[in-house]
Every structure is written in C-alpha cells, then in structure tokens.
Chain A
Amino acid sequence: MPLLHDPFNVIIAGVGGQGNILASDLVSRTFCEDGYFVSVGETYGATQRGGSVMSHVRLSRRHLYGPLIPEGEAHIIIGFEPLEVLRMLQDYGHALVRVVMNDRPLYPLEALQKKVKYPSPEHLISRIETLAAELKIVKATDLAKKAGNPQAQNVVMVGAFAGLNWVPLEKERFLTTLGETFSGERLELNKMAFDLGFGVASGKRGHPLR
C-alpha cells in the first residue's frame, strides 16, 4: 500500500540524554523489517549534553532519501519535551502534522538562570494544539516510572506512537525489534514501558495516514 506522503517524515524531538537515538533506532529498524527504505539523521556529539536534539526518520517505498527532513515537511512529531516540540513544530511541521508528546518540561539553563521565561505548560500545549492537526499527550515519564525507570520514557513514547496507528504496523514487529535490542531484566522493563505507552495511545486510535 502506498504512503499518503512519500517520503513520509517523522521527527523525534527531545533534549540530550533523553534517549532519542534508541527511540529512532527502534522505529527505523521496525520499518526496515517491513520493507521500507529508511533513512535516519541524528544530531549528537557536543549537542547531546543537555542541548536540543532531534532525530529525523524518513520512510519511502520508492528509494532512499537523505538523512535530513526539509523544513515544513515533518508529518509526525514524537516529542519528549513540550518546549522542544514547539521549537521543531514551527520550523519542521507539515501543515497536517500530528504530534504525540510527553508534556513533562525540562528547564533549559537560560530559563533556570531567569534570562528567558519558560512558557507556561498551558500556553505551550495550547500553542501546539493550535498548530498541529492532532495532538496526543502521554504522561510518559510517570508511565516509565511505573515500568521501573523514569528514563524509559523514550520507549513509552515509541509504544504510544505504535499504538496510535498513524503509520500502521503490527505491534508484534515492534516487539521483535525490542527483543533484538534488549535482554533479561532490561527487556522486561522496556517491554512494559512499550506496552504502557501502547495502551494509553490505542485507547483513542487515530485514523491511519495511508
């Protein structure tokens, strides 16, 4: 089945240290297994230390695209932090972009030093709601704590993305990728994190994009 948009572009937006790369790795490998041409661009290195971080994931049925998404052409944003979601949304969001995000703020140094105010959570969310065609908020850090480690919010968010069915792919495929990535206790923890995310998102299933 062809994609609604080809290439289909997904951005994972967060802050250095939140596990962007693991999340984009899980998503991209799962789509690779489903036969897509997949290309991923990451920003890490110096920027990983508390800076804004984004992963670009590009799917195509036709050929391999470059690792960077053009501005205004992200069809989905998976956000780990609301300020970063808004930042990416304005530049990269497609007119019909859908957003799934963890709304727990992480305060930049500039805000802690009172140089620039961190926007209020209500303001941030309403701005994102106005701009995006659809917004799904996931309390991913709380769910990750429930699974045993708050850092696993990235896997909760991958689960939520899978559960929303915005790009349809069998849940089993994601679980296979998880199984190839983790083992033992860590696999159990991450499976639970994935399931918790999947559960809250699939409760209100969106309309598939293809």
Chain B
Amino acid sequence: MATLYWNLDEPEKRYMLSGNEAAARGALEGGVRLVTSYPGSPSVQVLECLAAVAPQRGLYAEWSINEKVALEVAAAGSFAGLRALSVMKADGLNVAMDFLTTLPLSGIGAGLVIIVSDDPGAHSSVKEEDSRYLAPPAHIPLMEPATPEETKDMVAWAFVFSEQVGLPVMVRLVTRICHARATLTLGAIHPPEGVPRLPQEMRFVTAGSRHENTHQSLDKALEGFEGSPFNLYTGPAEPELTVFTSGVSYLYAQEAVERLGVGERVGIFKVGTIWPLPEKVVLDNLKRSEKVLFLEEIEPFLEDQVKILAAQHWNDLGRLRFLGKRSGDVPWVMKARGMGELDPDIATQALAKALTMDFQKGQEGLREKAEKLPKIELPLRLPILCAGCPHRASYWAIKTALALDGRDGFVLGDIGCYTLGALPSGYQTLSTVHCMGSGAGLASGFGKLGEAGFQQPTVAVIGDSTFYHAGIPPLINARVTGSQYLLIVLDNDTTAMTGHQPHPGTGILATGEAAFPVPMVELIKSLDIPVTIQDPYEVNETTETILHLLRKGGLQVLILRQACALKAMREQPRPPVYVDQDRCLGDACGCSRLCTRVFSCPANIWDEKAGKARIDEVLCTGCGVCASLCPEEAIVIQREGEEHAITP
C-alpha cells in the first residue's frame, strides 16, 4: 500500500504534501474527532485522507448527503465536545449557509472548523465564487493560508481559536493551494481525548437577542487576530510601495519582487487573518508607504476591507494610493473580464506597472523565435466525456429521441461530468446548466407551463449522486403540483466528477465499510411516479424507450444505469472493440465518418493511411456503443478467446 504521508508519526520530518493533504494533516495535529463533507473540487481529498485513517486515529468521517447536512453533523460533534471539521467547495457553502448563519448565535461546543475551497479560474467548477464575502453575514472569523505548510498550521490552530472565541472558524483555500504540492515539515498528531456528551444544562438555541453575544465573540476574535503570526510584513522599513496580499498570491508577490529586483523598494504584507480585519496591524502597515498594491484571488475583498478601514482613519493616514482590481491596476485573467485567478506573470506585470518599470511576460522565453516561424493552428483540446462514458450514449439517445419526437423538446442539466452535455462532446444537448439539482427544479417549473399554452416536451438530466444531494425535493414538488416532465437519472453508480466517491445509493461508506444502499427505484415508486430502467449502452433501445416516454407524457423517471467507464475498466476490463477495415467503406460510405466525427468518442480515430476508421486500443473501454451505430457493422466487439491483430 502506498505510504500515507499525512498520517506519519514523524514530527520534524520533511515531506511533500498537497494542500488538501496538508489540511487533513493540520486537522490531525489539531485533534479533530469528527469530519464531514460532500465531494467538491478542489477540496475532495481532505475527507478522503482523513477517512483513510479514521479507525486508527479515533475519528469519525463521513460523506454526507449534502453540505448542509455535513455541517449539521459536524456541529453535533462540536456541541458534544468533539473538535469537528466540515469541508466543502464554495458552491457547497451556499447550500450550508442557512445553518451556518445560525451557529454563531446558538454558540458551539468544541472547536468547529469549516474549510471552504474556492476555484479561481473555475478550473473544475461552472463558476467562480469568492466565499470570503460570506464570512461577514455569517459572523464567523475567516483565515487564508499562503502555502500547504501554512494550511496545515492554520487548520490546526483554527480548532483552538474556535474554542477560545466560541465561534465556528472558516479557513478559505483556493485551487492553487488545494491542488498544489509543496515540501513541509510535519508536527505531532494530537491523540484523541474525551468522551462526547451533551450536558443537560447546555442550550444551543438561535435567537435574535443573541446577536450581542456573537458580536462580543467577534470582538474577541479581532483581538486574537491582531497578534497573529499569520500576518507578516517583510521588506524595508520605509518601502516605496507595500503589497497587501493573502493566500497563494503571497508567493506570486514574492516572486514578482525577485524577478524585478526591487527588494530594496517594495515591502510585502501578508494578511492571513482576513475577517474581522485586524485593524491595528493593517493601519500600521498602511503607514509604511503611499502606494499600496493589492494581490489576491478572486474579487477585491481585502482591497475593499482595507479601503473602508482607511476611510475611517483618513486623518491619521495621510495621502494613499490604492492599486488593485478595483482601480484596474491588477488585470483580470485573460479568460474573461471579471475572472480573478492570479499567477506570477499577472503579479509581476501589476508590480512593474505600479513602479513604472518595463516588464514583458515571457521575455526569457521562445516567443520571439516562435513568432518568426510560419504560423500553424493548434487544435484546441476541450474537455470531453471519456472513452466509453455511458453519458455519451445517453445523450446520443436523448438527442435522437427528441428529434424523432419532433415537438421541439429540450433538456435541462446541472453540474457533474454530464455538464459536458452542454459541449460538443455531449452534442450540445443541454439548454440550461446552473447548480446541483437545478435541472430537475427548472423542469418542475417548465412542466407547469402547459396551462399557459406551452407545448414543448421537457426533459431534465441528473446524476445519481446529485439526485440524492438536491434532486429529491424538486421531484416531490413536481409530484405534488402535477408538473409534467421526464426526469432522466444518469446513474453511473458513483460520484464520478470528483473521483469516484460513494453516495447514499452505493451502499458504501467513506471508510469503505458496507452501508444501507438507499434504493432509488423504490424511493421514486413510493411517490407513485412511474420508473423505467434501461442500459444506455443499448443505445437504440434507449432511444426507443425515451421516445415512448415522451409520447406518453406526464411525470416520468427513466434511470439510465451503467457504471462509469473509468471505474468499470479498473474493476473488470471488457473485451476490446476493433474496426474490421475490410468492411469499413471509409469516406465512400456516406455515413460522414459517423464514428469518429459525429459520435465523438476519443477512442474512435481515423486511420489516415488506410482512409478508414480505427479504434485507439489504449483508450477504448470496450463499451461497444459505436459497434451498434456503424451502418456497415464494421466495428466489432472481440469475442472471448478470440485474438485480433491490432493494426500498428
């Protein structure tokens, strides 16, 4: 078995850990006893790391049905005296927000830490969201680490701090922390102590009158933040410019100073405790220089907080120039205006501009040499559904059935691997994409428009994990209101998007132990909604089923059940598929390269030399769907025991 570095009892040893592993390590060093999460990138691995060592370390770890329940389960631990952690991505924080805003009022027991991961640049999300803005309305202290090592130390300290101030504490991570790896030094793991108990005299009741207590706690948090070593100034005593920075941007700021060789002129103030903003230490650093440059990800949160503080103290501060995203001195990323990921080049450009120095990104590179060569266009590589993905077959069938139905039907989606149904890989099938479960919710609305004269058939797709997370209430809503639509559950028996975590239907717990598998079919049937189950790999039969259900109308559920191809291949490889090039007619066929050009599976490639279709045997997962689509039956599934010579 691979070494679990985050679990080693080797204090003072140096190892490479990812930000997520470091967060898990920090929780162990901070004495965590209970941890909950719902899988969301970029912070999926935090719970996985802790679940892997749960029995050994005397802690309870669970994948919860959604983030609100996750936070409630964690809070129960805290109330009963156990240090507890809940981990979620920014989108998940929105789900948990309702409960979170009550916690500072009800008060907590043992330390309660919430790790929220933001995704600047939206690398594995449908949107960016700067969750730092949600700390003030929730009335909870907020911190942000700059490196994996600081993540470890900050998470460990957050449990202690949470207990001291009596509030949940939020640690905000970003993708370039979570998915980065760096050398760090391990500390000692805190052994489990204490037996959980909810004393009769303890009351955790939310009431408006308790706002005063909350604000007293926040005052205490502010005091604690003022002296925190996580806030750090480095540089000359009287710099020409001070960079105010937080999170991974701190490292970009350091590199920018180094690249421009301006260490004598520029100071860096790293803010680790962000809200409530440590006013005294911020004011001290504002007095260092007239020019202040803000480097942070995503929105100008720190920039705004500091400006508000400066406005209150304008009389003592004198003239100041604030340079940041707000002023246009720090550019948004090239991807889109308003997207706020930083990198070392953006940081260096912004610093150079603030110091009126020349800097061109890539100046040490090959750009000049490359520009002298004749231009060649490089095909883009958009994210696609994997080879053999059952969703591809499902979208093929849905799209075909809607075309055959001919009533201008449409498909509503949400977030998961199947969001790729909005891109060419999924035939641009989806008309809407929003958040977890939103396709089913929107369908519940569209399905009621018939009374106003709406005639288009409505289809919603939802993943199996998403169905449990956010799909059940909109389905019940539709059942009660009489909304008419076809809900298609794309059931691949896992949470595929985030790397195959279990969900309530899989019958497996986070620790790998067996659990009660929630029966999806019986659950839906108990609502008296008709359910059909079909294997999407039987793509022609699936098309017919969908067409039949569309024509029948009413509220229907179709479960398209087939295991995620990546998982299936790992567990039980299928016999390969190959092209019989004697049967393939090439471009003379008239199918217009149906397999490679239209079906769009990356394993269906074109053999330029032969002018015929071919299967990439490294990528193919043997699903056989292309075999049932080929008009010449030239794609063949290899039978057991049969050896096929693969064209080199």
Chain A residues proximal to chain B, CB less than 8 Å: 15-17, 24-25, 28-29, 32, 36-52, 64-73, 83-84, 86-87, 89-95, 97, 106-119, 123, 127, 130-131, 141, 150-151, 180-183
B220 at the interface (CB under 8 A from A): no
Beta-carbon contact of B41 and A45 below 8 Å: yes
B137 at the interface (CB under 8 A from A): no
Partner of A71, one of B255, B365, B381, B602: B365
Task: State A136–B232 Cα separation when bound (angstroms).
Answer: 45
Task: State A141–B420 Cα separation when bound (angstroms).
Answer: 28
- The 5 A-B pairs with the shortest beta carbon distances in the complex, nearest first, are A45-B124, A72-B365, A66-B251, A72-B362, A67-B180
B200-220 contacts to A, CB under 8 A, are none
Stretch from B273-281, B340-348, B475-483, B542-550 at the A interface:
B340-348
B125 at the interface (CB under 8 A from A): yes
B336 at the interface (CB under 8 A from A): no
B266-298 contacts to A, CB under 8 A, are none
Residues in chain A near residue B16, CB distance under 8 A: 25, 28-29, 32, 38, 40
Task: State A42–B1 Cα separation when bound (angstroms).
Answer: 24
Residues in chain A near residue B125, CB distance under 8 A: 45-46
B344 to chain A: closest residue by CB: A70
Task: State A183–B593 Cα separation when bound (angstroms).
Answer: 44
Can you report 8 residue pairs joining A to B where beta carbons are below 8 Å apart? A41-B180, A44-B41, A45-B123, A64-B183, A73-B365, A108-B381, A110-B382, A112-B596
Partner of B255, one of A66, A93, A94, A141: A66
Task: State A40–B474 Cα separation when bound (angstroms).
Answer: 42
With A68-B344, A94-B366 as known contacts, state yes or no: A44 contacts B124, CB within 8 Å.
Answer: yes
B489 at the interface (CB under 8 A from A): no
Task: State A113–B602 Cα separation when bound (angstroms).
Answer: 10
Residues in chain B near residue A32, CB distance under 8 A: 14-16, 183
With A44-B124, A68-B344 as known contacts, state yes or no: A39 contacts B180, CB within 8 Å.
Answer: yes
B311 at the interface (CB under 8 A from A): no
Task: State A6–B1 Cα separation when bound (angstroms).
Answer: 35
B155-214 contacts to A, CB under 8 A, are 175-176, 179-183
With A66-B248, A67-B182 as known contacts, state yes or no: A50 contacts B381, CB within 8 Å.
Answer: yes
B384 at the interface (CB under 8 A from A): yes
Q: B520 → chain A, closest Cβ, in Å?
A: 25
Residues in chain B near residue A66, CB distance under 8 A: 176, 248, 251-252, 254-255, 344
In the complex, how many residues of chain B place their beta carbon closer than 8 angstroms to a beta carbon of chain A? 71
Task: State A66–B370 Cα separation when bound (angstroms).
Answer: 27
Q: B255 → chain A, closest Cβ, in Å?
A: 6
With A38-B16, A42-B179 as known contacts, state yes or no: A110 contacts B381, CB within 8 Å.
Answer: yes
Residue from the set A47, A50, A93 with the largest chain B CB neighbour count within 10 Å: A50
Partner of B183, one of A36, A46, A123, A127: A36
Q: A135 → chain B, closest Cβ, in Å?
A: 13
B598 to chain A: closest residue by CB: A113
B259 to chain A: closest residue by CB: A70
B500 at the interface (CB under 8 A from A): no
Stretch from B100-108, B371-379, B524-532 at the A interface:
B371-379
Residues in chain B near residue A150, CB distance under 8 A: 617-618
Beta-carbon contact of A117 and B379 below 8 Å: yes
Beta-carbon contact of B180 and A47 below 8 Å: no
B327 at the interface (CB under 8 A from A): no
Residue from the set A16, A25, A72, A112 with the largest chain B CB neighbour count within 10 Å: A112
Beta-carbon contact of B181 and A70 below 8 Å: no
Q: B195 → chain A, closest Cβ, in Å?
A: 37
Beta-carbon contact of B363 and A72 below 8 Å: yes
Residues in chain A near residue B605, CB distance under 8 A: 107, 112
With A41-B176, A181-B2 as known contacts, state yes or no: A93 contacts B366, CB within 8 Å.
Answer: yes
| Given A91-B367, A112-B605: 8 more A-B contacts, CB < 8 Å | A32-B14, A38-B183, A45-B125, A94-B364, A108-B381, A112-B606, A116-B377, A116-B378
Beta-carbon contact of A51 and B381 below 8 Å: yes
Residues in chain B near residue A109, CB distance under 8 A: 381-382, 384, 424-425, 600, 602
Q: B598 → chain A, closest Cβ, in Å?
A: 8
Task: State A17–B617 Cα separation when bound (angstroms).
Answer: 14
B336-361 contacts to A, CB under 8 A, are 343-345, 348, 361
Beta-carbon contact of A90 and B370 below 8 Å: yes
Residues in chain A near residue B366, CB distance under 8 A: 72, 89-90, 93-95, 97, 131
Task: State A67–B3 Cα separation when bound (angstroms).
Answer: 23
B577 at the interface (CB under 8 A from A): no
Task: State A210–B598 Cα separation when bound (angstroms).
Answer: 51
Beta-carbon contact of B124 and A127 below 8 Å: no
Q: B93 → chain A, closest Cβ, in Å?
A: 17
Residues in chain A near residue B497, CB distance under 8 A: 46
With A45-B123, A130-B373, A180-B2 as known contacts, state yes or no: A15 contacts B345, CB within 8 Å.
Answer: no
Residue from the set B41, B119, B248, B602 with the largest chain A CB neighbour count within 10 Å: B602
B386 at the interface (CB under 8 A from A): yes
B115-160 contacts to A, CB under 8 A, are 119, 123-125, 147, 149
With A38-B16, A38-B182, A47-B123 as known contacts, state yes or no: A72 contacts B602, CB within 8 Å.
Answer: no
Residues in chain A near residue B248, CB distance under 8 A: 66-67
Task: State A43–B42 Cα separation when bound (angstroms).
Answer: 10
Residues in chain B near residue A64, CB distance under 8 A: 147, 149, 182-183, 251
Task: State A119–B618 Cα separation when bound (angstroms).
Answer: 21
Residues in chain A near residue B552, CB distance under 8 A: none
Residues in chain B near residue A25, CB distance under 8 A: 16, 181
Residues in chain B near residue A52, CB distance under 8 A: 381
Task: State A156–B224 Cα separation when bound (angstroms).
Answer: 52
B588 at the interface (CB under 8 A from A): no
Task: State A37–B184 Cα separation when bound (angstroms).
Answer: 9
Beta-carbon contact of B14 and A45 below 8 Å: no
Beta-carbon contact of B604 and A112 below 8 Å: yes
Task: State A83–B381 Cα separation when bound (angstroms).
Answer: 10
Q: B523 → chain A, closest Cβ, in Å?
A: 29
B380 at the interface (CB under 8 A from A): yes
With A46-B124, A109-B602 as known contacts, state yes or no: A39 contacts B1, CB within 8 Å.
Answer: no
